[in-house]
Amino acid sequence: MIALLHTGAANFPPNLLSRSRQAVSPLFPAGVLEGFRSIVSRKLASHGFGASMAAMSSFPPQRYHYFLVLDFEATCDKPQIHPQEIIEFPILKLNGRTMEIESTFHMYVQPVVHPQLTPFCTELTGIIQGMVDGQPSLQQVLERVDEWMAKEGLLDPSVKSIFVTCGDWDLKVMLPGQCQYLGLPVADYFKQWINLKKAYSFAMGSWPKNGLLDMNKGLNLQHIGRPHSGIDDCKNIANIMKTLAHRGFIFKQTSKPF
């Protein structure tokens, strides 16, 4: 029977695995069953099932199919310049079942009101002038975002997704403010999000005053990359989310309806 199940493991439906274990368990020692489970897990992973059964079972069900982790970098100076303009636009598509990154959108944006980056901005973000010169405008980047969302199946009404940011600034202040200044519409999918700081405070019982640095420290995580790099900040957000989900936290929308 074990040999039969072994040879058919590649086509063995995942939802029947628990039934097979129940049927086999009275007949075979625990060590044999553990070996069988390991074989089936490897077979499933090698035939396109993605994460191993162990990884899938280690996270509680989330309310969303996908989390879209976003972290803008914008023009800045001391004292602050107005209006600020988005210069880095990264998004990570995080699978809500496995909490693994499945796809990345990442573009730099040409500022138009203050096209020359200040030394303060470059020192803070690591973005130099050559990284934004000749890049698409915000309007063009937003069009590319929409194309990427469609390609990734995120515009399908049956697919539940939500943006995740470290704070409310990105989608409550920065994007709508710049779009209003430029006379651009804001897509509905940008109008609801999860503020990771609030989620962390619900899960851990303390407010992360220093943002990602405090959250990484509180969860004993190593900081990834450079602080204030948009794409690196997204990776840290994703890592924090995965850790909280592994501890049983269920993420919920924190923004209020527009």
Q: Residue 35: what pLDDT?
A: 52
Residue 187 burial (C-beta neighbours within 10 Å; 0-12, 13-18, 19+): middle
Catalytic residue (choose from 85, 88, 152, 228) = 228
Annotated catalytic residue 47: no
List 73, 85, 88, 152, catalytic entry: 73
Per-residue pLDDT of the chain (258 residues), as tens digits, is 333 333 334 343 444 444 444 444 444 444 444 454 545 444 434 433 344 344 445 678 999 999 999 999 999 999 999 999 999 999 999 999 999 999 999 999 999 999 999 999 999 999 999 999 999 999 999 999 999 999 999 999 999 999 999 999 999 999 999 999 999 999 999 999 999 999 999 999 999 999 999 999 999 999 999 999 999 999 999 999 999 999 999 999 999 876
Q: Is 228 a residue of the active site?
A: yes
> Residue 106: beta bridge partners?
90
Verdict on whether the full-model pTM lies above 0.85: no
Q: Delineate the domains of the chain, giving CATH numbers in brackets.
A: 66-247 (3.30.420.10)
Would you state the pLDDT for residue 253?
98
* Cross-strand pairs, 103: 93
- pLDDT attached to residue 39: 52
